[in-house]
């Protein structure tokens, strides 16, 4: 029975992520436009773009190798799997036993590596530039993520995402300073991983400032659609992760029935809307950073994560 409900919730979750991810991207764009006084494209515009792009044959550079053709599928598969592991409206999904934070970090790294390889494949200067910068930023973002996982693991006893959320949901831990530090660190990592302002500007095509877009300049047709899809999945995944860990209320418990799912779904959509609004406000209020200020930004996240861990050791006296 529990396997059946796990399977059903897993499939529903996957369908939800598939449908929601481009809408979420569209919502953030629309909200940003409204905040800046423009009318902005319809929130469903990304869906329309994707449906149009996926029907177009990709134009590949003459010297593009198999890497350019395979990388988008790898990246989408990885992003989809990682997004499938982060619970949205219910815990105890079929894949929950494999939802390990370090595995999610590894999957994200695999997607990033595939994208960087695709960026370097044709041998254009922008692609190489973007790949280099993306990997260098990731080198600082990944330790911050691992430190956040460390803090969760100390509080919950494991890096297992489902267990962590369960323990946070019970609320026995209460408010903790360390969790605040971890939240800030994770937010900074999320901003960097999703190529948002102030680290990167998702709307720009100004060659000298871009990181993420530079790697997919050569992509077109269905390949471009896949790259856009995976970017949406990643954004959804990160927002869902933040929502699940720091705002764990409302999520259906393992084995709960459809009523709890519907409730959880409503709460999940509300949480995502709130986070999307917060992201739009944040992006509108802040300017993009100079490229070599980004390491300071991520270094601060890393230090906050470390501080959170130290706080935990000192305050609880775990000896």
Partner 1 sequence: MLIALALTLVVLAMLSLAAPLLARAALGVRVVYAGTACVSLVFAAGGIAGLVSAAEALALPFGPPWGAMRLALDPLSAWFLLILGLSGIAASAFAFGHVAGTEAPRLLVPYPLFLAGMALTLLAADGFTLVLGFELMSFASWVLVAHEHENAENRRAARLYLGFAALGGAALILCFGLLAAGVYAGAGFAALRAAPPDGLRALAILLLVVIGAGSKAGLVPLHVWLPLAHPAAPSHVGALMSAAMTKAALYVLARVIFDLAGPAQPLFWGAVLMVLGLASAIMGALRAALEEDTKTLLACSTIENIGLITLGLGLALAFRAADLGALAAVAAGAALLHALNHAMFKTLLFLGAGEVLYGTASRRMDRLGGLIKAMPWTAGLVLLGAAAAAALPPLSGFASEWLLLQALIAAWRVGDLAFQIGAAAATALAALAVALAATAMLRFYGLVFLGRPRSPRAAGATEISGVARGALILPAALTVMFGLTPGFLLELAAPALRLLTGAGAGLSALGGVTMTVSEGGAGYAPMIVFGLLLLLGGGVAWFARRQAPGIVRGPAWDCGFIAPPHHLPFGDPATQVSAAGMAQPLRRMLGKTLLAAREKVEVPPPGDTEPARLQAGFHDPVLALIAGPLPRARDRLTVLAERLRDFSLRQCLGLGFTVLLALMALLILLERP
Restricted to residues 130-189, the positions that interact with partner 1 (CB under 8 A) are 131-133, 135-147, 149-150, 153-154, 157-160
What is the smallest separation between the CB atom of 32 and partner 1, expressed in angstroms? 25
Q: Which of 15, 42, 44, 73 binds partner 1 (CB under 8 A)?
A: 73
Residue with smaller CB distance to partner 1, 255 or 295: 295
Segment near partner 1 (CB under 8 A), from 74-82, 195-203, 246-254, 270-278?
74-82
Q: Is 152 exposed, middle or buried (0-12, 13-18, 19+ CB in 10 A)?
A: buried
Minimum distance from CB of 280 to partner 1 (Å)? 29
- Residue by residue, DSSP assigns 28-41 as HHHHHHHHTT----
How many residues touch partner 1 under the rule CB under 8 A: the total is: 90
- Count of residues for the chain? 319
Instruction: Rule CB under 8 A: choose which of 27, 90, 95, 188 binds partner 1.
Output: 95
If we measure between CA atoms, which residue out of 192, 188, 185, 193 comes closest to residue 306?
Answer: 185
In this complex, which beta carbon is closest to partner 1, that of residue 1 or of residue 318?
Answer: 318
Interaction pattern, residues 294-313, with partner 1; x per rule: CB under 8 A: -x------x--xx--xx--x
Nearest Cα to Cα of residue 85 among 75, 96, 76:
96
At 312, list the tokens: 């935990």
Return d(Cα 135, Cα 155) in angstroms, integer. 30
The contact pattern for partner 1, residues 100-119, with x = CB under 8 A and - = no contact, is x-xx--xx-xx--x--xx--
* Residues in contact with partner 1, shown as a per-residue x/- string from 205 to 244 under the rule CB under 8 A: --x---------xx-xxx--xx------------------
What's the rounded Cα separation, in Å, for the pair 155 and 133?
A: 34
Q: Does 204 bind partner 1 (CB under 8 A)?
A: no
* Member of 34, 38, 42, 123 binding partner 1 (CB under 8 A): 123
Cα–Cα nearest to 101, from 87, 115, 116, 113:
87
d(CA 169, CA 281) in angstroms, rounded, equals: 28
């Amino acid at each position: 029975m529990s396997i059946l409900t796990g399977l059903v919730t897993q499939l529903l979750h996957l369908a939800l992520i598939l449908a929601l991810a481009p809408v979420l991207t569209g919502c953030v764009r629309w909200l940003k436009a409204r905040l800046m006084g423009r009318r902005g494209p319809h929130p469903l515009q990304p869906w329309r773009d994707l449906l149009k792009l996926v029907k177009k044959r990709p134009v590949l550079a003459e010297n593009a190798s198999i890497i350019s053709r395979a990388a988008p599928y790898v990246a989408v598969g990885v992003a989809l799997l990682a997004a499938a592991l982060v619970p949205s409206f219910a815990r105890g999904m079929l894949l929950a036993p494999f939802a390990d934070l370090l595995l999610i970090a590894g999957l994200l790294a695999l997607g990033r590596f595939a994208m960087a390889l695709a960026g370097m494949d044709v041998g254009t200067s922008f692609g190489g530039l973007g790949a280099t910068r993306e990997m260098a930023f990731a080198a600082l973002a990944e330790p911050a993520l691992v430190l956040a996982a460390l803090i969760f693991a100390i509080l919950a006893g494991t890096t297992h995402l489902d267990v962590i959320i369960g323990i946070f949901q019970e609320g026995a831990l209460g408010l903790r300073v360390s969790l605040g530090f971890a939240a800030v660190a994770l937010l900074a990592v999320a901003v960097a991983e999703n190529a948002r302002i102030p680290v990167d500007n998702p709307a720009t095509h100004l060659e000298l400032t871009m990181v993420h877009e530079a790697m997919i300049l050569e992509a077109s047709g269905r390949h471009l659609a896949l790259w856009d899809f995976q970017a949406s999945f990643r954004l959804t995944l990160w927002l869902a992760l933040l929502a699940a860990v720091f705002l764990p209320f409302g999520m259906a418990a393992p084995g709960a029935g459809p009523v709890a799912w519907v409730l959880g779904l409503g709460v999940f959509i509300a949480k995502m809307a709130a986070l999307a609004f917060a992201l739009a406000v944040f992006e509108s209020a802040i300017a993009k950073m100079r490229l070599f200020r980004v390491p300071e930004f991520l270094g601060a996240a890393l230090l906050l994560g470390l501080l959170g861990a130290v706080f935990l050791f000192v305050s609880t006296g775990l000896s």
